[in-house]
Amino acid sequence: MAQIHDDPEEAFAESGRCDKMLLLVFAGSDWCAPCIRFEKNILSDGAFLRYAGDSLVILRADFPQRNKYPKELRMKYEALAEQYNPRGLFPHLLLIRPDRSVVSTLVYNDEAVENFVSMIDSQLKDEQTH
């Protein structure tokens, strides 16, 4: 079962150590309706977390409006956003290699978990053939 990391350094270290792709999720957990649906329908789903446990490291960079994270973590998220989400899109989902290069941007349109997993799986298979 996958763990959802909130510390970027921890997540990237695990990605490198386990040689797994990282799913980076930019979210606004208390104001972005599509982010909240993604959290509820995908990130909280047991089937997805089991799949991800074998295939991915998950990092959630959350930008809430009401809840506040410690300054150090907010600064890490802002640095991630500068590099991977300069336009400030939410939710913004990226598959990233262990070397921190981007494989692809994923689009979530309220599809079922199986369809989302299938989309990630095809990206991972494409990556393995290159």
Number of domains in the chain: 1
End-to-end CA distance of the chain: 27
Range from 10-14, 45-49, 124-128 carrying the lowest mean pLDDT? 124-128
d(CA 74, CA 80): 10
- Look at 6 and 128; give whichever has higher pLDDT: 6
3-state secondary structure of 25: strand
For position 1, what pLDDT does the model report?
87
Check residue 67 and give its pLDDT: 82
Query: Using 50, 70 and 90 to split pLDDT, how confident is the model at 115?
Result: very high
For residue 40, the model assigns a pLDDT of: 96
Q: Range of 15's domain?
A: 4-129
CATH of the domain at 10: 3.40.30.10
In one-letter notation, the amino acid at residue 100 is: R
